[in-house]
């Protein structure tokens, strides 16, 4: 795209939605869709760290932020960060997650323990010197009208090295509006002099904005067949690759068997991310092999809307994906976050988010060995209270959007 082409396509000041939706991750793809719909009256472009076309998975055609900046030239733009755990995503992690599975394994094996070299490799791949590249690089767009951060996450901010912390603080300090999605992140930023607002993750809007579209996915193809195969209902379950060791899979299998006995539900497994360091298909298959005495299936589709539909028709969601729980809550369903054995709850996005926005008394996230009890407790929660919470989060999100864009 040339600067001339850009100017003719966008004669008024466009908004560039910037985020980690340049790779397959359920939450990031969903955030881009939600923010795109909420800002549909604006001229929008979608930017990440690499050129990608994820429309086949329900995402967008995404432009590399560096190439987009060159195309825009001196034209005025607004930069809107759509959310996600972007405050603590290091350039090394961002670059690896943009690779295919095998190239990622190869570069991790070569450089994972060699910090200076992996940082240099990431800078070269991304074409940016930044340590936190999903935060707008300073000076990249010479005529930036406003920079806005929506519901950013960063629960491990205090664990970053000083150089990256300083970079994040400087970038946020120059923004017109900063909101974060949990009190834990807000407190850490405040300790470093950054003022921010609390805003629920925009994905809380998914049912209100896309309910009809999601429902339509349930009546055809793989979703229709899955729903027919589980007439008594199912638990929708997801877990990240870091849950894939034999011991943890054995714990998961035992807990799922307890859930099946107490509820009569089947289990439908799904991946909430196919990018490196997300979900590993082989781990799901190994878990399913341990459940050969149960009614279990695996959703093969990676389409954003199929995943939303699967969750929306479940009896309960359990998983390590925060956005899986947010989607379940949007549909008034029970949900439960999963932690690895021994994981510190203070590093859990689920615990941080739901302690800020959730209902007192219900567990936000539990370690694997407590999953059965947690699911039973979640399913016993008051449906009226769940529906009320979903509505309150929608209202809070709309109010925050008005605060940031009301002018």
Condensed to tens digits (0 to 9), the pLDDT of residues 38-47 reads: 999 999 999 9
Q: Where among 199, 222, 255 does a domain terminate?
A: 199
**pLDDT reading at 27 higher than 50:** yes
**pLDDT reading at 13 higher than 90:** no
Q: Strand, helix or coil at 92?
A: helix
pLDDT confidence band for 11 (50 / 70 / 90)? very low
Domain count, the chain: 2
Q: Are residues 103 and 10 in the same domain?
A: yes
Q: Are residues 175 and 320 in the same domain?
A: no
pLDDT confidence band for 360 (50 / 70 / 90)? low
Kindly state whether residue 407 falls inside one of the protein's structural domains: no
Q: Are residues 143 and 224 in the same domain?
A: no
Q: Are 243 and 276 in contact (CB under 8 A)?
A: no
Q: Which two tokens stand for residue 164?
A: 């990256």
Percent of the chain with pLDDT strictly greater than 70: 96
Q: Are residues 241 and 138 in the same domain?
A: no
**pLDDT reading at 8 higher than 90:** no
* Cα→Cα distances 5→13, 29, 67, 196, 240, Å: 14, 27, 13, 36, 41
Q: Are residues 194 and 214 in the same domain?
A: no
Tell the residue number behind the tokens 């909420």, with chain if given.
38
Percent of the chain with pLDDT strictly greater than 90: 87
Mean pLDDT of the chain: 93
Give the list of residues 6+ apart from residue 54 with CB closer than 8 angstroms, or none. 21, 22, 24, 29, 60, 61, 62
Kindly state whether residue 402 falls inside one of the protein's structural domains: no
pLDDT digit string (tens) for 194-243? 999 999 999 999 999 999 999 999 998 999 999 999 999 999 999 999 99
Kindly state whether residue 246 falls inside one of the protein's structural domains: yes
Kindly state whether residue 49 falls inside one of the protein's structural domains: yes
CA distance 47 to 259: 42
Angle at the Cα of 349 from the Cα atoms of 309 and 211, rounded to 5 degrees: 20
* Cα→Cα distances 6→2, 11, 324, Å: 6, 8, 36
- Would you give the end-to-end CA distance of the chain in angstroms? 30
Buried b (16+ CB within 10 A) or exposed e, 296-321: bbebebbbbbbbbbbbbbbbbbbbbb
Say which CATH number the domain at 339 has: 3.40.50.2000
Kindly state whether residue 146 falls inside one of the protein's structural domains: yes
pLDDT confidence band for 407 (50 / 70 / 90)? low
Q: Are residues 229 and 157 in the same domain?
A: no
Kindly state whether residue 401 falls inside one of the protein's structural domains: no
* Cα→Cα distances 152→148, 177, 186, 277, Å: 10, 11, 10, 20
Q: Where among 154, 173, 199 does a domain terminate?
A: 199
Burial class (CB in 10 A: 0-12, 13-18, 19+), 338: buried
Q: Which two tokens stand for residue 156?
A: 């491990």
Q: Are residues 191 and 216 in the same domain?
A: no
Q: What is the pLDDT of residue 112?
A: 85
Lowest mean pLDDT among 1-10, 133-142, 373-382: 1-10
Angle at the Cα of 71 from the Cα atoms of 65 and 75, rounded to 5 degrees: 100
Q: The domain containing residue 300 runs over which residues?
A: 205-394
Q: Are residues 249 and 138 in the same domain?
A: no
Q: Are residues 192 and 211 in the same domain?
A: no
Say which CATH number the domain at 97 has: 3.40.50
Return phi, psi of residue 361, to 5°.
100, -20
Q: What is the pLDDT of residue 5?
A: 44
Give the list of residues 6+ apart from residue 406 with CB closer than 8 angstroms, or none. none
Kindly state whether residue 403 falls inside one of the protein's structural domains: no
More confident residue, 341 or 35: 35
Q: Where among 178, 199, 220 does a domain terminate?
A: 199
Q: Are residues 243 and 371 in the same domain?
A: yes
pLDDT digit string (tens) for 100-126? 989 999 999 999 889 889 999 999 999
Q: Are residues 148 and 266 in the same domain?
A: no
Return phi, psi of residue 275, to 5°.
-70, 155
**pLDDT reading at 1 higher than 90:** no
Q: How far from chain centre, in Å, is Cα 275?
A: 12
Q: Are residues 339 and 286 in the same domain?
A: yes
- Containing 128, the helix (H) or strand (E) segment is none
pLDDT digit string (tens) for 273-328? 999 889 999 999 999 999 988 899 999 999 999 999 999 999 999 999 999 999 99
**pLDDT reading at 397 higher than 50:** yes
**pLDDT reading at 12 higher than 90:** no
């Amino acid at each position: 795209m040339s600067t001339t082409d850009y100017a003719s396509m966008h004669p008024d000041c466009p908004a560039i939605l910037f985020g980690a939706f340049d790779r397959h991750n359920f939450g990031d793809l969903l955030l881009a869709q939600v923010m795109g719909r909420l800002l549909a009256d604006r001229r929008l472009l979608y930017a990440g760290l690499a050129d990608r076309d994820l429309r086949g998975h329900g995402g967008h055609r995404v432009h590399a932020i560096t190439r987009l900046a060159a195309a825009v030239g001196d034209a005025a733009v607004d930069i809107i960060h759509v959310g996600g755990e972007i405050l603590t995503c290091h350039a090394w992690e961002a670059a690896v997650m943009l690779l295919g599975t095998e190239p990622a394994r190869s570069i991790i094996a070569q450089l994972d323990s060699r910090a200076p070299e992996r940082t240099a490799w990431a800078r070269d791949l991304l074409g940016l010197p930044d340590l936190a590249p999903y935060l707008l690089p300073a000076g990249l767009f010479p005529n930036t009208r406003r920079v806005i951060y929506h519901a950013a996450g960063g629960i491990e901010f205090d664990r970053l090295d000083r150089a990256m912390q300083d970079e994040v603080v400087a970038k946020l300090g120059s923004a017109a509006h900063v909101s974060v999605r949990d009190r834990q992140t807000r407190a850490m930023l405040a300790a470093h002099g950054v003022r921010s607002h609390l805003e629920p993750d925009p994905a809380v809007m998914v049912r209100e904005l896309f309910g009809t579209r999601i429902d339509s996915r349930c009546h055809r193809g793989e979703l229709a067949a899955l729903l027919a195969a589980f007439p008594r209902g199912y638990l929708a379950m997801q877990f990240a690759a870091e849950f894939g060791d034999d011991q943890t899979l054995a714990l998961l299998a035992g807990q799922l068997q307890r859930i099946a006995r107490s509820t009569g539900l089947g289990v439908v497994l799904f991946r909430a991310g196919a990018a490196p360091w997300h979900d590993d298909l082989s781990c799901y298959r190994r878990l399913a092999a341990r459940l050969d005495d149960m009614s279990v299936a695996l959703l093969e589709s990676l389409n954003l809307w199929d995943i939303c539909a699967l969750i929306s028709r479940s009896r309960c969601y359990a998983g390590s994906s925060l956005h899986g729980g947010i989607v379940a809550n949007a549909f008034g369903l029970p949900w439960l976050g999963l932690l690895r054995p021994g994981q510190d709850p203070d590093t859990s996005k689920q615990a941080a988010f739901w302690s800020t926005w959730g209902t007192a008394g219900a567990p936000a996230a539990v370690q694997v060995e407590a999953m059965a009890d947690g699911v039973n407790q979640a399913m016993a929660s008051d449906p009226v209270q769940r529906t009320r919470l979903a509505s309150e989060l929608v209202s809070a999100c709309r109010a925050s959007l008005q605060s940031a864009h009301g002018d």
